[in-house]
Amino acid sequence: MPAPAPVALITGSARRIGAAIARRLHAEGYDLVLHYRGSATEMQALAAELEATRADSVLTLRADLSEFDRLPELVAKAVGRFGRLDALVNNASTFQPTPLGTATPAQWDALFASNARAPFFLAQAAAPHLKASQGAIVNLVDIYAERPLRDHSVYCMAKAALVMATRSLALELAPDVRVNAIAPGAILWAENETSDTRQQAMLARTPLARTGAPAEIAEAVRWLLRDATYTTGQVIHLDGGRTLAG
C-alpha cells in the first residue's frame, strides 16, 4: 500500500505567490488545503487545474484570518479531510501604507492580524499535527521586516513580529518541527504600485538587476519543507542580493 501523500495548508493561495506555491507543492506530491478570502473565482480555477492533474487532492477553505475562531477551524478541517498535516505555509498578507500622523488602530489591527497574529495562532493549532508528522512551517516575511519602508511603519512592524515568531517557534517546536521564513525582494509589484520610476529605482539597487519569479519563491518553500532537514529558525533572503546594496 503506498504511503499517504503529505498534506500542506497554504494561506492566501488563490493567486500570485500563493498560487505558485500551491502548484509547486502539488507537483511535489502534496495534497493541499488552500485558504482564500475574497478571490473565489481564482481559487475555483486553481483547484480545478490541480484536481484535473490528481483527483481528490485539494480542499479549498474560505476564511477571514482576522476572525480568531477561523484559525483552529482551518487546521481542524484540514486534518478532518486528509487525516494528517505535514506543512503550514503562512503566505497570506495585508499590505497598505500607514504614514505617520494618519495611522489608525483599525489599520494596526488589520496589518497585525494577517501578518503576525494569524500565522502564530495557526502554528499553535497545527503544532500537535506537525509534531506527529515531523513536519515544517514556512512563513513569508519581507525584507522590510529588517529595513523599514517609508510610510509603512505598521506593516514593517508586523512582518518583524513574524520574523521573531519564526525564530521563537523554531525553538519551541524543536526537534520535531522545523520553522523557517522567506523574505522576498521584488517578486511581483504591489497591485497599487504604478510608478515606473520607483520600480526602476528598486531594480537599480538589486545586484541581479531583475525581479524574481513566483516560481523561485515556490521552489524555496519546497526546499525548506522537504530538503532543508538541518535548517530551522532561519530567514532566507530571496531578493536578488538587494539587501547587500543598502
Chain segment 77-102, per-residue pLDDT in tens: 999 999 999 999 999 999 999 999 99
Cβ atoms of 115 and 128 within 8 Å: the answer is: no
pLDDT in tens, 23-64: 999 999 999 999 999 999 999 999 999 999 999 999 999 999
Give this prediction's pTM. Answer: 0.94
Q: Give the model's pLDDT for residue 186.
A: 81
30 is catalytic: no
DSSP state of 15: S
Q: Give the model's pLDDT for residue 45.
A: 98
Q: Give the model's pLDDT for residue 189.
A: 63
pLDDT in tens, 191-211: 655 567 777 887 878 888 888
Q: Which domains does the chain have, with CATH numbers?
A: 7-244 (3.40.50.720)
Q: Give the model's pLDDT for residue 113.
A: 98
What is the Cα–Cα distance from 234 to 236, expressed in whole angstroms? 6
What is the Cα–Cα distance from 181 to 171, expressed in whole angstroms? 14
The C-alpha cell at 50 is 490541480
Q: Which of 30, 36, 144, 155 does the annotation list as catalytic?
A: 155
